[in-house]
């Protein structure tokens, strides 16, 4: 029917099964993200108390925001894309939502201000992956985060950094989620990833869909490709980011709990 995208394609690389089912509806009510976001940040959601504080991460004292709910089941470290930062409204919305599931989150700048001025650094995946692993090490000496299983949430180029970090440190990264990610930029690291990986892409994100399909095929770990119908690269459409939150939250919660039971 005109105006309605009814199909979402999910490729499960366990291995190769394809499921098609309807998900998007016209005239949907305002999404959770649209309803609460504002120029100054993201409002608190629901009622679960979350301890939120600003932090400085690693040897470069990179600025970040740490959220820790009571009785956290794990920690998710965010890797933002080019041109973004720890203040990203979308990533902060996702972080707040994960907090309501009992998942601690760390959003931090992958580069210093001086480093970010050099565009080569923005696409230096090995450098960005090193910063992610340094953040994981930093978190594990924080009293409230000690021994928590770790997930990585990457957007755009940050997704490639997350996958490279997971490949290099399979004993320190338990699960990975990519949102609109350039997973293809992880290159030769993809077959080395052992962490369960979820790739979320907008159905209208053009070539990025194909890149993620190829990346899914290159991964040897348990992985899944979710395509959100009607969504573009930033998931700006009403309800699109809420779908990302639901998909990512379920994936993180499942595999962080599995890792915590080991």
* Domain architecture of the chain: domains with CATH: 32-260 (3.40.50.1820)
Extract the tokens encoding 164: 């490279």
- Count CB atoms within 10 A of the CB of residue 233: 16
**pLDDT of the residue at 199:** 97
41-46 contacts at long range (C-beta below 8 A, 24 or more positions apart): 41/87, 41/89, 41/92, 42/89, 42/92, 42/93, 42/95, 42/96, 44/96, 45/96, 45/97, 45/100, 46/100
> What's the rounded Cα separation, in Å, for the pair 131 and 111?
8
The share of the chain scoring above pLDDT 70, in percent, equals 81
* Residue 139 near residue 62 (C-beta atoms within 8 A): no
**pLDDT of the residue at 91:** 83
Collapsing DSSP to helix, strand or coil, 7 comes out as coil
- 126 versus 39: the higher-pLDDT residue is 126
- 28 versus 53: the higher-pLDDT residue is 53
On the question of pLDDT at 39 being above 80, the answer is no
- 84 versus 55: the higher-pLDDT residue is 55
Q: What is the DSSP string of 137-191?
A: HHHTTSGGGTT--EEEEEETHHHHHHHHHHHH-TTT--EEEEES--GGGGGGGGG
- 231 versus 36: the higher-pLDDT residue is 231
**pLDDT of the residue at 13:** 35
Radius of gyration over every alpha carbon of the chain, rounded to an integer in angstroms? 17
CA distances (Å), origin 156, targets 80, 182, 184, 233: 7, 5, 10, 9
Adjacent-strand bridge partners of 179: 155, 200
118-123 contacts at long range (C-beta below 8 A, 24 or more positions apart): 122/82, 122/83, 122/157, 123/82, 123/157, 123/185
Average of pLDDT values for 128-145? 94
* Residue 160 near residue 123 (C-beta atoms within 8 A): no
**Residue closest to 58 by CA, chosen among 114, 140, 123, 116:** 140
- 186 versus 235: the higher-pLDDT residue is 186
């Amino acid at each position: 029917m005109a105006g309605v995208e009814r199909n979402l394609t999910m490729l499960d690389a366990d291995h190769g099964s394809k499921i098609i089912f309807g998900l998007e509806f016209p005239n949907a009510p305002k999404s959770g993200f649209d309803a609460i976001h504002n120029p100054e940040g993201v409002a608190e959601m629901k009622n679960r108390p979350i301890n939120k504080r600003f932090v400085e991460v690693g040897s470069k004292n990179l600025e970040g925001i740490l959220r820790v709910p009571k009785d956290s089941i794990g920690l998710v470290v965010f890797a933002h894309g080019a041109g973004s930062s720890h203040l990203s409204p979308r990533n902060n919305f996702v972080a707040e939502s994960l907090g309501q599931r009992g998942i601690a989150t760390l959003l931090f700048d992958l580069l210093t201000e001086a480093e970010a001025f050099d565009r080569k650094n923005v696409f230096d995946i090995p450098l960005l992956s090193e910063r992610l692993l340094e953040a994981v090490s930093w978190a594990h000496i924080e009293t409230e985060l000690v021994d928590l299983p770790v997930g990585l949430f990457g957007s755009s180029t940050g997704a490639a950094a997350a996958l490279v970090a997971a490949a290099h440190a399979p004993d320190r990264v338990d699960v990975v989620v990519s949102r609109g990610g350039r997973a293809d930029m992880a290159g030769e690291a993809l077959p080395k990833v052992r962490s369960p990986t979820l790739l979320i892409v907008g159905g209208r994100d053009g070539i990025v869909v194909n890149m993620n399909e190829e990346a899914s095929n290159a991964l040897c770990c348990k992985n899944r490709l979710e395509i959100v119908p009607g969504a573009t690269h930033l998931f700006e459409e009403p309800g699109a980011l809420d779908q990302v939150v639901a998909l990512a939250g379920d994936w993180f919660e499942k595999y962080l709990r599995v890792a915590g039971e080991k």
